[in-house]
Structure 1
Amino acid sequence: MKKVGIFYATKGGTTKAFAEQIAAKIGADVINIKDVEINALAEYKTLVLMSSSYFFGALAEDWGSKVKLLNTIDFSDKNVAIVGVGGQERHPDSFCSGVADFYDKLAFSGVRFIGEVCSSDYKYTFSRLQHGNALRGLCLDKADGDKNEARINAWVESIKKYL
C-alpha cells in the first residue's frame, strides 16, 4: 500500500499548484481525480482530498459523480485530510463549502479525519466545513498569498504524525 496520495480537481490550476506545494512538503503522490478511477484511492493509507469550490459551495466538476462512489472504498484503516480552495471575499457565505461533501460522504466510514484548523485566521461568514471554532480541513485562498505558506506549513506539522 502506498503511503500518501493527494487527489485533487481543479479548473484553473490553482488547486493543482497548492497540491504540488503540499506534496513537496509531505512526499505525496499528486493525482488529478479526472485521470483515475475512484478505486485508485484504495491504494493509499493516507489521502488528501482537494478541490476548489465553485459558485455557492460546489465541488470542482471533475469530482462530479466520483464523490458519490467514495462509499465503495473501505476507509476503516485510512487517514483522510481535506483541503479546500476558495475565495473568502468573493464567496464569504460559502467559503470552501464544497469540500464538506468529502466529510459528509465519509463521516460514518470509519476513517480518521486529520488536519483540522482554527477558523479564527479567516474572514468569511459561513462555511459548511466549519465545526465550532475549527474548519474540518485546510482552506486556502489564492488572494491570501502570504498567509497560504504559513497555513500550509502549520497544517503539515499537524498531520505529520499520521504520515
Structure 2
Amino acid sequence: MKTIGIFFGTETGTTRLIAKKIHKKLGDEIASKPVNVNRIEMAEMLQYDVLILGTPSYGVGEIPGKSAGCLEPNWEEFLAKSGTPDFTGKRIAFFGLGAQERYSDRFASSLLRLHEVFKGFGAEIVGDWSTEGYTFAHSAAVQDGRFVGLVIDERTQGMFTNERLDAWLAQVKPLLLEKLTTPA
C-alpha cells in the first residue's frame, strides 16, 4: 500500500513536533515519516499521491522563508527552486501554526498562501477546519467562514492540540485513504 507523505517547514521546531504527532497518530503503515522541506527536492514530494503539508506563520501572511524573517530555509526557498510542478490528481490536507493572541490581526495567515500555491499547482485540497474555539481579529486563512486547514496554537492553546489533531484526522483520514486505495 502507498503511504501519505508528510512534509513541513519550521523555524522553532513546533511545526516539526506537530508533524511528528500526526505521523504517530496515523502510524507507519499509512504515513511516511515527516520530512522538513529544507532537506528535499520537489521530486521527492511528487512521489506521493496523498500529502499532509504543515507550515508555521511568518511575516504578514507570507510564505515562510528568509524574506519573512526565518533564519533557516523554509517553504519560500523550497518553492523557489521547484518551478511549477504538476500536482493534478494529488490530494493534500494542510495544517498551520499561529499565535492568536500575539498575532491576532494575522493569525495563521501563512496557511492560506501555501494553500493557494498548491491549489495553483492543480492539487485537490481537503481538510478545512472550524474557527470555533479560537479568538483572533483576522486570519487570511479563513475562507467561507472556515480555516483552509487545521490551525494549531501551541503558544496559548496547547492544551487543545491533541484533541484538535484527533478530530481533524478523523475528518481527513478517510479522504486521504480513499485516494491511496483508488487506482490512478
TM-score, normalised relative to structure 2:
0.81
Is 1:137 aligned to 2:149, yes or no? yes
Tell me the distance in 2 between the aligned counterparts of 1:71 and 1:99. 20
Q: What residue number does 2:88 align with? A: 76
CA distance in 1, matches of 2:81, 2:113: 12
Residues 54 and 60, structure 1, Cα contact 8 Å, conserved in 2: yes
Structure 1 regions of 5+ residues with no counterpart?
Answer: none
Pairwise mapping of residues 76-155 of structure 1 onto structure 2 (< 5 A)?
Answer: 76-142=88-154, 143-155=156-168
CA contact (8 A) 2:84 2:121 kept: no
Contact 2:112 2:140 in 1 (8 A): yes
Which structure has the larger Rg over C-alpha atoms? Answer: 2
Q: Which has the higher helix share?
A: 1
Select the residue among 27, 51, 54 that pairs with 1:50.
54
Q: What's the CA shift string for 1:98-144, capped at 9, x where partnerless?
A: 12112211224432111111112211111111112211100101121
Q: Is the 8 A contact 2:50 2:91 kept in 1?
A: yes
Paired position in structure 2 for 1:14: 14
* Structure 1 residues 90 and 114: CA distance shift in structure 2, 3 A: same
Contact kept, 8 Å, 2:111 with 2:148, in 1: the verdict is: no
Report if the CA contact (8 A) 2:63-2:114 is conserved: no
Query: Which residue identity lines up with residue 150 of structure 1 in the other structure?
Result: E
Distance 1:7 1:104 in 2: 16
5+ long unaligned stretches in structure 2: 66-73, 178-184
The structure richer in strand per residue is 1
Aligned equivalents of 1:110 and 1:76: distance in 2? 4
Residue 20 of structure 1 deviates from its aligned partner by 0.2
Q: CA RMSD in A?
A: 1.8
Task: Specify the code of the residue in structure 1 equivalent to 2:11.
Answer: K
Q: Output the CA distance in 1 between the equivalents of 2:163 and 2:35.
A: 24
What is the distance in 1 between the residues matched to 2:46 and 2:140?
26
Deviates more, 1:16-25 or 1:58-67: 58-67
Q: What is the rounded CA distance, in whole Å, between the counterparts of 1:36 and 1:5 in structure 2?
A: 12
| Identical amino acids, percent of aligned pairs | 30
